[in-house]
Amino acid sequence: MTERLRARDLAFLTDETLVTPRHNATVEIFEPGESGFDYARLLELVGDRLAFVPRYRQRLVEVPGNLATPTWVDDVNFDLGYHVRRSALPRPGTEEQLRELVARIISRRLDRSRPLWEIYVIEGLAGGRFALLSKSHQALVDGVHTVDVGQLLLDTEPEPKPLVPDGWTPRPAPSAVGLVAEAVRDAITEPVTVVDAVTVTAEAARRTVARASARTRQVADALTGRRPSLRPMLGPLSQQRRFVMVETRLRDYRRISEAHGGTVNEVILATVAGALRAWLMTRVASLGGTRQMRALVPVSVIDRELEATSLGSQIAPHYVDLPIGEPSPLVRLHQVSYSFQAHAETGRGVAANRIASIAGFAPATFHAIGARVAAAEVRRGYQISVTNVPGPQTPLYLAGAQMTASYPVPPLHDGHPLAIGVTSYDGKVFYGINADRDQVPDADLLGTCVTEALEELLATTTATRAPRGRKKPASAAKSASARAASARTGASKKVATKKSATAKKLAGKPAKSTEARKR
């Protein structure tokens, strides 16, 4: 008996368009071992680990007449070489060249006639390094039946575990008559499943009409000269993407947390808020009077009402109003921390160290589940999604090569041209910024603003002078704060008054134990 695609997963297929490909991605950078990088060895490793995720050898087949949701069947023509592809940059490849290649690859949809995943091995990086770009469809990875293959490829030791062939042979694909017969049987025995599928299809049709209406309004506004809404980070998507990578140090976030309280996660969100503020102030429209930006932040919880994942927790949506209108970095941090207080008091939260200790590289799967949550919450009206997942703080290896960086690539959802993913690993915190190429042409500047926002928070700690060896922003990159100075000229007294009033307001809010809120 074949397994049918669940109705909730069908939505990821019906909602997929040329401008909204429904896949998650991760970019990982590796230092090859003494023997160098061996593509053949990597191919063997991937083939071996697929035994733990049989869905990665299956493809979707539609039922004639759409009598039921598509069915998962073994791909009788499965070709591992098609899914694990080899590419290269002109040596020595730069980070900018890597980002451009990643942006082009993530812009393309996966081939639905094959298993819904791809891995690109990108060689030629400076210093003999190579990168691994993995793509998995949102209908493929649910964290319940299937985890991301990236969670299974990495080992804690340079020498991978012995390869044990699983002797997999594909089962014959069912005939059209067999698919129809199974659909009729399911309609009789499980009518709720059929109703769910019809509901999802109808909802997809409604959203298609809504997108068409939105495009019509945009054309009408252009013809009449009407200005579009100045609400930041909302707008139609193109078919192309921009990708930005930012590397920071975990100890900097811990230092801020120890000085002012709050968790590392809250410090990261305060950094994002500061970066968005500085970045928007460099734009022509500036902040447009906006004081807050509604952010969706998926969080790990223990909740019997939610579907349990195979990772020991559920993922629930949490909304945070990022205080982008607040000039004080310290007040921004306190406001973000205060927004998480109610969540912490429920007792449902899952400690970061528990997530980081899950076997394998769990961030790959958690980011995939977080993207599913963001997709389900699109109609709730958030402006940006920020997914932060803690990873292990010890080195991991891929076929003998040590992983030195891991950047998540969260998918963009309809009308949301910017998404941010964050992963902490081996003493570093890595930001992956996915942006629409047309709507966010200055995505690189946002990456610079992330670094500066962190430096701004560090300046508020007791040790105001940065430790020796701190890497300063590149001189070629003009300070985003300096670029925004003209927008704040003559307003310093007003800003000081606001800071004082906000600080007095916060002084009356309940304090939170620093020790209890440590990550």
Q: Is residue 322, in this structure, part of any structural domain at all?
A: yes
205 found inside a domain: no
Q: Are residues 389 and 455 in the same domain?
A: yes
Same structural domain for residues 352 and 475? yes
Edge-to-edge strand order for the sheet containing 71-74?
3-4, 71-74, 58-61
Q: Are strands 58-61 and 117-125 parallel, antiparallel or unpaired?
A: unpaired
Instruction: State the pLDDT at residue 431.
Output: 98
Q: Above pLDDT 70, what percent of the chain?
A: 73
Same domain, 356 and 434: yes
Of the three residues 189, 209, 224, the one that is the final residue of a domain is 189
pLDDT in tens, 412-448: 999 999 999 999 999 999 999 999 999 999 999 999 9
Does residue 334 form part of some domain?
A: yes
Look at residues 418, 95, 134 and name the one whose alpha carbon lies nearest to residue 279: 418
Q: How far is CA 81 from CA 40, 85, 204, 339, in A?
A: 10, 6, 34, 47
Residue 141 main-chain phi, psi, to 5 deg: -105, 110
Q: What is the mean pLDDT of residues 12-21?
A: 92
pLDDT, average across residues 32-42: 84
Q: Do residues 389 and 316 share a domain?
A: yes
Q: What is the DSSP letter of 349?
A: B
Of residues 44 and 209, more confidently modeled: 44
Residues 251 and 171 reside in one and the same domain? no
Strand 71-74 and strand 58-61: the pairing is antiparallel
Looking at the domain assignment, is residue 395 inside a domain? yes
Q: Are 23 and 411 in contact (CB under 8 A)?
A: yes
Domain-embedded: residue 273:
yes
Q: Do 48 and 178 have their domain in common?
A: yes
Count of domains for the chain: 2
Write out the residue range of the structural domain in which residue 457 sits. 241-507
Least confident of 45-49, 97-101, 125-129, 210-214: 210-214
CATH no. for residue 94? Answer: 3.30.559.10
| C-alpha distances out from residue 104 to 357, 435, 485, Å | 33, 12, 35
pTM: predicted TM-score of the whole model, two decimal places:
0.82
Do both 147 and 261 map to the same domain? Answer: no
Residue 234 lies in a domain: no
* 213 occurs within a structural domain: no
Residue 295 lies in a domain: yes
Q: Where is the domain boundary, 189, 204, 225? A: 189
Overall residue count recorded for the chain in this entry: 519
Q: 282 and 419: one domain?
A: yes
| Residue of higher predicted confidence among 110 and 64 | 110
Which pLDDT does position 218 carry in this prediction? 45
Q: Report the pLDDT averaged over residues 3-11.
A: 85
Collapsing DSSP to helix, strand or coil, 325 comes out as coil
Choice between 487 and 326, residue whose per-residue pLDDT is larger: 326
CATH number of the domain encompassing residue 357: 3.30.559
Q: Is 325 exposed, middle or buried (0-12, 13-18, 19+ CB in 10 A)?
A: middle
Please, what is the Cα angle at 366 between 321 and 62, to 5 degrees?
110
Residues 384 and 463 in one domain: yes
